[in-house]
Structure formats: C-alpha cells, structure tokens
C-alpha cells in the first residue's frame, strides 16, 4: 500500500516536472514580448519585466501586413483541411471496406511513403508546381496538402473497428456504398474525423518551410512566414518577434485546449486493427 502510494507520487512529480519544462518556452515567449529592448538579452535573464511594454504588440503589427497574412493563413488552413477530410474519408473507406485487386499492396506502399522525409520532396514538388504554373498562387499552398497518408491510416483503423454487420444491414435496406459511407460510417467516425481536422489545422497554421518556398509576393505569405520580417541585417528585434509569435500561436492554443478531449478520444479509439 505504502509502496504503491510512493510510486504514484513519484510518477506525479516526474510528470509535473515535465509539464513545467514544456511550459517554460511559452512563459519565456510571453515574458519577452512584454520587455523593453534592454531587458531582452540581460544577464542574468529577466523573467518578469520591470516595465510591461504592451505597445510591443502594436509595434509588431506595423512591421509587416499581418492582417493580410492572417487572412491567407485562414484561407489556406480551412480549404486544405476540408480537402484533406474529403480525400481521407474516401481513401480510408476504400482501404477498409472495399475489396479490390492489390488493395493491401497499395496501402503498404502508401505507408512506406511516410518514411520519406518531407525535405527530400521539396525540390520535386516545387518543379512540378512550377511546370503547372502554380508558383506564388493559392493552389501551391493548398493542393499538395489536401491528402495525408497518416490521416488515411488513422481513419482506416477507426473504420475497421465499426462492425461489418452495419454494412450488411444497410445493403439489405438498399443503401449504396456511397450513402452508407456518408450517412453511417462518417457520423460514427466523428471523433477520428475531428482528430484529423484538428491535427491538420495545427500543422497548416504553423507551416513555414513550404509557404516561404512557393510564394514570392507579400500578398500570399502566411503568418509563420511573416515572422521572418523581424530578422534584418541590423539584428533581430526579439521583443517584437515574441509579441508577434504570441499572437500567431494564441488561436491554436485556444483551439487545442477546447478540443483536446476529441483528439484523445479519436486516437484512443482507432486501435491497431488490420
């Protein structure tokens, strides 16, 4: 009894220390966003500003057209998320419910592509988009990211956990494959779909490398790319950079805290079937 309580206490202490270590960068970011320039690089580090500079946030908004960047981020995130949900639902249903020649081989090949680092594909993807004339367009920011092998795998595992008797009953009632997918399977897979959508929103909102490669004009830049405006030949304005970073990350933090139970439920229910 005593040993069990001691073990639990030790685990809680270790988890609490881990949580504190994870929160430190965010605390430092917010603290720096409210500092005066002379306190940013002070040694020893100043965790609590002596004078709270809330005007850093307004100054950061003047450095670059962040209103345009915000609109671009919203458009790219929403459209790419909707596109990924559609392709994921169709592909996951095909790999979990339909029997066709080479299904398992194709799925294994798809899983194999997850082992290829995304950086390796940057040049081939850029050349392809350049040949299509899509460089510096919304199409370049959205179309390549409307499908995800990981999302297909996640939803396929969830679909495999749904009893096949539902499909037999639906077919007896005259339900087609398409209607069964949209009116039965998709609603039952709501936790997994929410998980896929949330992960996509977070990844798309925070994307930096791809948008900076395929865009040339300020009108198509997204928020993470806009943060590079604080790096100049004269140095980095850390207090303004941290203020802008806080504004960029704040919407995602709110979204995560509101929807985190759906992420946990969706991942927990997918299992490892098939």
Is residue 77 within 8 A of residue 211, CB to CB? The reply is: no
Closest CA to 45 of 35, 58, 55: 35
CATH code, 160 = 1.10.3720.10
Structural domain contains residue 163: yes
Q: Does 221 lie in the same domain as 123?
A: yes
Same domain, 107 and 199: yes
pLDDT per residue, tens digit, the chain (274 aa), is 666 777 788 888 898 898 888 888 888 888 888 888 888 777 787 788 888 888 888 888 888 788 889 999 999 999 999 999 999 999 999 998 888 888 889 999 988 988 888 888 888 889 999 999 898 899 999 999 999 999 999 899 888 888 888 877 877 777 788 888 888 888 888 888 888 898 899 889 988 889 988 988 888 888 888 888 777 655 677 888 888 888 888 888 888 778 777 666 655 555 444 4
Q: What b/e string do you get for 202-227 counting C-beta neighbours within 10 Å, with b at 16 or more?
A: eebbebeebbebbbeeeebbbbbbbb
Domain C-terminal end among 17, 34, 53:
53
Domain contains 58: no
132 and 212 together in one domain: yes
Residue 129 lies in a domain: yes
* Within a domain: 125: yes
Q: 136 and 39, same structural domain? A: no
CA nearest neighbour of 205 among 87, 72, 114, 85: 72
209 in Cβ contact with 125 (< 8 Å): no
What is the distance between the alpha carbons of residues 240 and 38, in angstroms, rounded to a whole number? Answer: 13
- Out of 53, 81, 97, pick the residue that ends a domain: 53
Cα 113 from Cα 184, distance rounded (Å): 30
What's the start-to-end Cα distance of the chain, in Å? 40
Partner residues linked to 231 by β-bridges: 236
Query: 98 with 210, same domain?
Result: yes
Distances (CA, A) of 21 to 8, 10, 28, 114, 224: 20, 17, 11, 30, 24
pLDDT of residue 264: 66
- Assigned domain for 1 exists: yes
Predicted local distance difference test score (pLDDT) of residue 274: 44
Q: Are residues 201 and 265 in the same domain?
A: yes
Q: Are residues 28 and 161 in the same domain?
A: no
Residue 95 CB: number of other CB atoms within 10 A?
21
Residue ending a domain, among 53, 75, 92, is 53
Three-state secondary structure of 35-84: CCHHHHCCCCCCCCCCCCCCHHHHHHHHHCCHHHHHHHHHHHHHHHHHHH
Per the structure block, which two tokens stand in for 267? Answer: 């991942």
Residue 270 has a pLDDT of 53
Measured between alpha carbons, how far is 72 from 218 in angstroms, rounded to an integer?
10
45 vs 96: CA distance, rounded Å = 55
For residue 156, tell me if it sits in a domain: yes
Domain presence at residue 84: yes
What's the DSSP call for residue 114? Answer: T
Going from the C-alpha of 87 to that of each of 75, 92, 146, 263, the distances in angstroms are: 18, 8, 7, 20
Statement to judge: residues 142 and 258 lie in one domain: yes
Considering the domain architecture, whether residues 34 and 72 belong to the same structural domain is answered as no
Which domain covers residue 14, as residue numbers?
A: 1-53
Do 94 and 198 fall within a single domain? Answer: yes
pTM: 0.81
On whether both 230 and 166 belong to a single domain, the answer is yes
Q: Is position 26 within any domain?
A: yes
Do 229 and 124 belong to one domain? yes
What's residue 74's pLDDT?
92
pLDDT at 272: 45
- The count of domains in the chain is 2
Query: Could you tell me what percentage of the chain is helix, strand and coil, using 3-state DSSP and rounding each to the nearest 5?
Result: 75, 0, 20
């Amino acid at each position: 009894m005593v040993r069990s309580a001691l073990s639990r206490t030790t685990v809680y202490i270790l988890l609490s220390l881990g949580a504190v270590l994870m929160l430190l960068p965010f605390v430092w970011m917010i603290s720096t966003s409210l500092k005066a320039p002379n306190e940013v690089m002070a040694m020893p580090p100043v965790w609590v500003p002596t004078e709270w500079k809330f005007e850093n946030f307004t100054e950061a908004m003047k450095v670059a057209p962040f209103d345009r960047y915000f609109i671009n981020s919203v458009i790219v995130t929403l459209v790419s998320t909707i596109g990924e949900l559609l392709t994921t639902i169709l592909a996951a249903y095909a790999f979990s419910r339909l029997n066709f020649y080479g299904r398992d081989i194709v799925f294994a090949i798809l899983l194999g592509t997850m082992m290829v680092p995304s950086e390796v594909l940057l040049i081939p993807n850029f050349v392809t988009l350049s040949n299509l004339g899509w460089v510096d367009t919304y199409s370049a920011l959205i179309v390549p990211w409307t499908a995800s092998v990981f999302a297909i795998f996640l939803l396929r595992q969830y679909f495999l956990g749904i009893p096949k008797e539902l499909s037999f009953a639906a077919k007896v009632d005259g339900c087609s494959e398409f209607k069964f997918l949209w009116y039965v399977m998709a609603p039952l897979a709501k936790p997994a779909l929410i998980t896929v959508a949330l992960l996509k929103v977070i990844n798309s909102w925070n994307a930096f490398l791809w948008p900076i490669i395929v865009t040339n004009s300020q009108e198509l830049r997204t928020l993470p790319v806009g943060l590079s405006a604080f790096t100049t030949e004269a140095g980095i304005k850390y207090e303004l950079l941290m203020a802008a970073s806080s504004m960029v990350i704040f919407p995602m933090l709110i979204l995560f805290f509101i929807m985190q139970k759906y992420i946990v439920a969706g991942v927990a229910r997918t299992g490892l079937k098939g």
